[in-house]
Structure 1
């Protein structure tokens, strides 16, 4: 109780501080109400000048917020309440503002976005889907326009030129995924003008718990096509049908893994006609077999993915129930599912760039977030993003009644009870929002309601285009809406005429989600802005959550109590078992996110160093001094440690990248110092000759060559890093901390990358021939367009210990990373 009391005390002090600032904002209102429309843009210019002259945003905040509030009142007909001003203050301070559903988060965001855009650096609002990005930019656009600013939005399929224009606006709305993918794509372009983003000043993350916590388990990946191996996938999809669960392999549903038994290994060797499945030359066979078994046993059609009429396997977002077209599972799993479903197998992908949400959002000078459920995750928000939580009071008290869970022995009994409950409420006229955890379950209930003759709407990933329209009407009389998870999130459910008298919106949960927050989000759709409402969850001991994490105890209690068929039970002990199960899964997911963050943070320094160097090459400044530094590094690595001059044959091997006709100049030297100076002079002479030969084209040619080499070496490095993640996970069994092992070995890999890259550039200098730079650019652009954005599943290194983060600073002159 002490901890909770501490949190509430801290929040109370914060709200008291905000109340005083709100009073100052309100003091400006009377004067600002007298302003004419043209005065608002002038005021904005005045504020911009004050910021430019060094005045802090905190000093101009009261006037800026008052201007934004008046602009909202005049354009969209909404005047932010004082509690909404408090939410805006929390966002401006880089906090997560917990604001309940229906409290006007979209409007709240306009004030801190306006204030922070006055610096001229641009601000971003990251949300969960393209629909909300476009809707909110259009809805709030008039507010910014009235103030003399521009608002834009980005969409998944938008052309680069339109993206760039959207980023050049003062405020840009888009999905978190698209912001992250644009950052990665910007670090793959071959000319500065092709970059679309212009910096990372301030971002507000809408539905922050969903984006910053739930989706942080999976990294963003930019990938390209690899060699075709369709036949192998089909062959192993066929083989997988002959393997029996428990006998030939063991499935772990919690961790989504498959392990072969001795019988399974023997069967695989017989089918493949090989002696040893685990011989290094048969590694591909293990990879394909395990993926085929995963596809067959762990990934379910209509739950984890859908197959479209065109024969495309499309992932279903486990948090929102939306389809994710264009997204693909990584490491060959998607191809294994395509083979299982007997549809066209698309080529495997090769990773060109990757980043986690944690490390992407670290790019911003200031990060804030809004959500209806955040306080329970404050420690994670602080540790991952340095964003404390501020719980903002509602404008009106919540009067919704949340009833005890009704728990049944079987799914069949539960579903019958759900249909009876819905039919009863329908007859009464009360609207019902039914929350399900998968498309499959929503469609089962839909069929049962059809048989019962109860009209209803189904809202899931298959019909996302009608999402907002369906959700907006979910509060009308006699309206039954079945929704997958949080489909329609971001759209308020307003009560229709006469619904208040019927008790408001009734939220019926058909299963407890793995995360308590998502349950709370579903319940929070009812009882907005002081409206009446009611909620209840209908569960069974056969539900996945209970079955995997406490089903035996639950079944035992049911059997002891001799519950009759169709009779529910409501008991605090059962509720505690469910809560315990949810906490276990939340703990598992937190460990996955923490491990992903720890591992990605190791390569984040490497990524930053590579991207900074890449930017430097893109700008094309001081190429000569950069190349001479690289040449010096290449020569020094070949002579360092030499106490005396080696035989000429050894020198030839060491400097084999030099042209045969020139290497003779390194013969007959007296000592190591002469060897170093001669090699440096020779390489510099060759460089100057090439420069003269190519003339004006030379800087562009060198830039193209260096960028190609950086990208290729980085791609190979990422591939090696993925293998390293897999291998260090096994070391946990040997009492070694996987994160510390990963830090050590990834640093060695990065040193190798740097050495190899410099050797590549030195070799290119001596062997460079005239190229058609326009054609080369066209080829590069074509490759760039073939890249694909993937928000992939992640498998981190195993082990339970946390790395100490220690180590010495070490690195080359340009690529500085921590060991």
Structure 2
């Protein structure tokens, strides 16, 4: 919005029109007008959501976007790399949530976490005593206990402090390497004593047998939280001396038991993550009784974004705020795939050089470095490395005091809200005035940044990426040495560090940057080489001592490179998964767009009919099942196809398909003519009496199972003698079935993505299995759409007896702007719970459980439509 207002006059002077989508409401005529401009400004998320909303629109006039031609992305590294892993999702509520499960298991998990904390505290105290004993055997035992404490709670603060002291981290790493040999064969010796094991790098938690026993309540099944081995259990059932029917029943029971248990285990796992891996004021904040995620790159709150897979609900339960209902995905796309739709893509940023390889690999974009307007004279010092965070923060405060004394402004970059508040308290104790800019106080952002260049002003800010406003310096500040940047921790990504450094020394201004690092920082704990630890130990470090050496700075950059490579691998893998989804999305959205615009609806429906005819002929010709064939033709087309057994045997599949298709087309033509004739007198009456008042009319249709309200243009319907109503009917049915099937398919694809990950244990590539299985799912979805569309069209009729049933179509559209849009913080894995379909009330004789199902499938009632009935 700001950029469009700044640059707009310049473009308009050159005869170009400029608009900004952020000033308008979704799906509004104003937004469509904004997209018609020569240059359209907007935020990347909103462009993505508009694309998704366009593909959920019910009326052509709701469409806002044009074709994707040329995109220029500001802060392109932030958008296409940092945000690439998080999909844009439009979601809606699921009737049954799993809220009660979080509340039910929260006390158990709280108790388990408390017991683990007490256990780790005891183990750690004993480990310290043994390591300090001086006896070699006792020291070895102490090292084992130290590893056990680390596996139990790696973020336990006394443990983090202890590991930063001389030789301790090296002892831990050495012991861990011994127990990790031969594919972790001996690791259970370490972990069996714990209640659960945390792998901080993988962000995962596993309950031990001891944990299972503790969390299972008295009198409960001892396997209450243990997932059965489905394969072996199914094999066991097959071996049993039972009838096929009883075996099927047992298998159904086993699968239902597995589904209930997996939901239970998943809930407990997410609660454990919430309590042990996610910290308040670091990964998230609580504002107005709502849990809000903090962007680790920029330090801003991510409005509308939720952790996926039930993790957000687990954190809500932990913080005792309202647990929001589970949601179901209606439409989703990643920013990567959205921007790859543009014929031409470009962007600019100050920090793309380190990611040049990724830009080329994924987007085929070259990175060109443009020389600075004036030479950079900022002084970038080597990092100061301290043992503990306490020493580091004290040194930061001393440095701030010194710089303020020199009359220089200071900008302090922190990685979390918690650290910014800690430094703020320390500065208050020293009586140093300062401003704080973090996720909780972002409203005053522009004012705080504008003041940041004044003499002796101290500004503490969580990651300064893309904070936009330039920091202007006065002449006396330039003379004093310019803006001083202090980084309190190295970020996982070199780019974020460069962005912080880049706040000083702009346009040839003087300035300096200095990072303060401690061995307790996350990056150093998880990825720093043991060389740094050995060097510090060799130099015999005392408390408060600092190391500053180019070798250490390079070593930290190597650790960052490791993290970046790891993240690039994850992003690339995710993109490979999303590419499968993307090709399916394009096919469905193209099919949907054709139906929405109605330009070739007749051709599409004819193709659908032919495909269903072909599928039925192939299926039953192969099985040589004339009776089944006639039943299915009756079921899907409501046509009694008269064919003798001899004809069925002799006629080729192609000829039989053609015969059936001709019969179906003729029946459909007769049917639509009848509907048009039946409706036209009423439409004529409405048009002649109230034509000036009505633009559109709603005509109710039903196929005996579900009611559809079809909206048609009154004047066109009158002039075409009812033909326009038939076109509107075809369009409505097509859209309804495509949307229903696509929502269900998205959920199945989410489930598939989760389930294929187990293939790695069988030495198989999950991606290949995902591609193969997703193709089968897609094929069956398209088949289902075709059958449902054809079946509804062939059976549909107008149920009204009186003209009053045709009423004016109110100007009421699906307001997609009110639907929930958000960014999932993980690949979009939503809920396993399918929305309940409302079944029609059936009147007729009760069907026995073992009788054939009346739907004509040939299955027993209890294994078909009678499932779930007691």
TM-score by length of 1: 0.77
Aligned residue runs from structure 1 range 499-514, under 5 A: 499-514=477-492
In structure 2, C-alpha distance between the alignment counterparts of 1:638 and 1:460, rounded to whole Å: 63
- For the residue of structure 1 that corresponds to 2:212, the secondary structure is helix
2:89 aligns to what SS in structure 1? strand
Paired residue for 2:18?
A: 151
Cα drift, residue 776 of structure 1: 9.3
Given that residues 453 and 474 in structure 2 are in contact (C-alpha distance below 8 angstroms), is that contact kept between their aligned partners in structure 1? Answer: yes
Distance across 2 between alignment mates of 1:774 and 1:475: 66
Alpha-carbon distance between aligned partners in 2 of 1:459 and 1:271, rounded to the nearest angstrom:
50
1:628 aligns with 2:606: yes
1:235 equivalent in structure 2: 104
Task: Please give the secondary structure, in 1, of the residue aligned with 2:408.
Answer: coil
- Distance (Å, rounded) in 2 between the aligned partners of 1:712 and 1:275: 40
Aligned-pair distance for 1:678?
4.8
CA shift for structure 1 position 526: 0.5
State the 1:251 CA deviation. 2.0
Q: Does 1:650 align with 2:678?
A: no
Relative to structure 1, is the Cα distance of residues 157 and 548 closer, same or farther in structure 2, using a 3 angstrom cutoff?
farther
- Structure 2 counterpart of 1:205: 73
C-alpha distance in structure 1 between counterparts of 2:39 and 2:828, whole Å: 36
**Which of 651, 656, 679 does residue 660 from structure 2 map onto?**
679
Shift of the 357–401 alpha-carbon distance from structure 1 to 2, 3 Å rule, reads same
Match of 2:264 in 1: 285
> Matches of 2:606 and 2:827 in 1, distance apart?
41
> What's the counterpart of residue 826 of structure 2?
794
Q: CA deviation at 1:195?
A: 1.3
In the superposition, relative to structure 1, how do residues 442 and 777 fare at CA in structure 2: closer, same or farther (>3 Å)? farther
- 1:459 touches 1:487 (CA, 8 Å); kept in 2? no
1:111-130 correspondence to structure 2 within 5 Å:
none
Contact 2:24 2:31 in 1 (8 A): no
Question: Hey, what does 2:121 align to over in structure 1?
Answer: none
2 CA distance for matches of 1:290 and 1:249?
A: 10
Aligned to 2:197: 250
Contact conserved, 2:85 with 2:827, CA < 8 A, in 1?
no
1:552 Cα deviation from its structure 2 partner: 5.5
**Helix, strand or coil for the counterpart of 2:91?**
strand
Distance in 1 between residues matched to 2:62 and 2:349, nearest whole Å: 34
2:753 to 725, 749, 754: 725
Distance in 1, matches of 2:667 and 2:300, equals 58
Task: Report the counterpart of residue 181 of structure 1 in structure 2.
Answer: 49
Q: For 2:22, what is the secondary structure of its paired residue?
A: coil
Out of 514-523 and 268-277, give the one that drifted further.
268-277
CA distance in 1, matches of 2:783, 2:809: 25
Q: 1:727 to 1:775 in 2, by over 3 A?
A: farther
After TM superposition, list the pairs within 5 Å mapping 1:475-494 onto structure 2: 475-486=453-464, 489-494=467-472
- 1:663 corresponds, among 624, 640, 645, to 640
Following the alignment from structure 1 to structure 2, what is the Cα–Cα distance between the partners of residues 214 and 241?
Answer: 34
In the aligned structure 2, how far is the partner of 1:737 from the partner of 1:220? 27
Task: Tell me what 1:5 maps to.
Answer: none
Alignment of 1:681-760 (within 5 A): 681-692=662-673, 693-694=675-676, 695=722, 696-760=724-788
Please list every run of 5 or more consecutive structure 2 residues that lacks an aligned counterpart in the other structure.
117-151, 153-193, 229-257, 677-721, 800-804, 830-870
Aligned to 1:65: none
- Alpha-carbon distance between aligned partners in 2 of 1:229 and 1:775, rounded to the nearest angstrom: 41
> Within 2, Cα distance between the matches of 1:216 and 1:776?
42
Equivalenced residue count is 661
Q: CA deviation at 1:664?
A: 6.0
Give per-residue Cα distances to partners, 1:138-192, cap 9 Å, x unaligned: 1111111212222222339834323223222221111111111111111111112
Indicate yes or no: 2:547 matched with 1:569: yes
Bigger mean CA offset, 294-303 vs 512-521? 294-303
Q: CA deviation at 1:324?
A: 1.4
CA positional deviation for 1:441 = 0.7
Alpha-carbon offset, residue 519 of structure 1: 0.4
Cα distance 1:302–1:669, how it changes in 2: closer, same or farther (>3 A)? farther
SS of the residue aligned with 1:393? coil
Residues 524-575 of structure 1 deviation map (CA, whole Å, 9 limit, x = unaligned): 1100011111010011111111011127554443333222222211123422
Q: Tell me which residue corresponds to 1:768.
A: 796
Q: Whose relative contact order is higher, 1 or 2, with alpha carbons under 8 Å and at least 6 apart?
A: 2
User: With structure 2 as the length reference, what TM-score do the two structures score?
Assistant: 0.72
Distance 1:255 1:645, change over 3 A: closer
Helix, strand or coil for the counterpart of 2:616?
A: helix
Larger-gyration structure (1/2) = 2
Aligned with residue 538 of structure 1, among 506, 510, 516: 516
CA contact (8 A) 1:467 1:487 kept: no
Q: Which moved more, 1:566-575 or 1:619-628?
A: 566-575
Alpha-carbon spacing, 1:579–1:360, altered in 2? closer, same or farther (3 Å): same
Equivalence map 1:345-424=2 (5 Å): 345-424=323-402
Match of 1:225 among 89, 93, 115: 93
Query: Which whole-Å CA distance do the structure 1 matches of 2:730 and 2:211 have between them?
Result: 54
Kept in 1: contact 2:737–2:788 (CA 8 A):
yes
Counterpart pick for 1:307 among 272, 276, 286:
286
The 8 Å contact of residues 27 and 817 in structure 2, kept in 1 or not, is answered as no
CA contact (8 A) 1:314 1:327 kept: yes
- In structure 1, the residue corresponding to 2:647 is in which secondary structure? coil
The correspondence of residues 540-559 of structure 1 with structure 2, limited to 5 A, is 540-550=518-528, 553-559=531-537
Contact 1:477-1:497 at 8 Å conserved across structures: no
For the residue of structure 1 that corresponds to 2:346, the secondary structure is: strand
1:272/1:136 CA distance change after superposition, 3 Å:
farther
What does residue 168 of structure 2 align with? none
Shift of 1:260: 2.2
1:434 is matched with which residue?
A: 412
Counterparts of 2:107 and 2:762 in 1: how far apart (Å)?
37
Whether the 8 Å CA contact 1:665–1:678 is kept in 2: the answer is: no
CA 1:650/1:776 → structure 2, altered by over 3 Å: closer, same or farther? Answer: farther
Q: 1:715-747: per-residue Cα shift (whole Å, max 9, x none)?
A: 111112112222222212322222222222211
The CA deviation string for residues 415-453 of structure 1, in whole angstroms up to 9 with x for no partner, is: 011011111111221001100001111111111111111
In the alignment, the residues of structure 2 paired with residue 199 and residue 563 of structure 1 have an alpha-carbon distance, to the nearest angstrom, of 63
Q: Distance in 1 between matches of 2:304 and 2:43?
A: 15
Distance in 2 of aligned mates of 1:453 and 1:231: 49
2:814 alignment partner, one of 774, 781, 785: 781
> Residue 479 of structure 1: CA displacement?
1.0
Q: Supply the distance in 2 between the matched residues of 1:687 and 1:336 (Cα, whole angstroms).
A: 53
Contact 2:90 2:819 in 1 (8 A): yes
- Asked if the contact 1:460/1:484 (under 8 Å) is kept, the reply is yes
Helix, strand or coil at the partner of 1:145:
helix
| TM-aligned CA distance change 1:321 to 1:612, over 3 Å | same
Structure 1 position 324 matched with structure 2 position 302: yes
Alpha-carbon deviation of 1:460? 1.3
Asked if the contact 2:750/2:828 (under 8 Å) is kept, the reply is: no
Q: Tell me if structure 2 keeps the 8 A contact 1:461–1:487.
A: no
Distance 1:757 1:156 in 2: 38
Query: Aligned-residue CA RMSD in angstroms?
Result: 2.4
Q: Which runs of 5+ in 1 are unaligned?
A: 1-133, 798-819
Residue in structure 1 matching 2:448, options 470, 475, 489 = 470
1:269 CA displacement: 4.2
Aligned equivalents of 2:24, 2:763: Cα separation in 1: 47
Ranges of 4+ aligned residues in structure 1 off by more than 6 Å: 771-780
CA 524–785 in structure 1, closer or farther in 2 if over 3 Å, else same:
closer
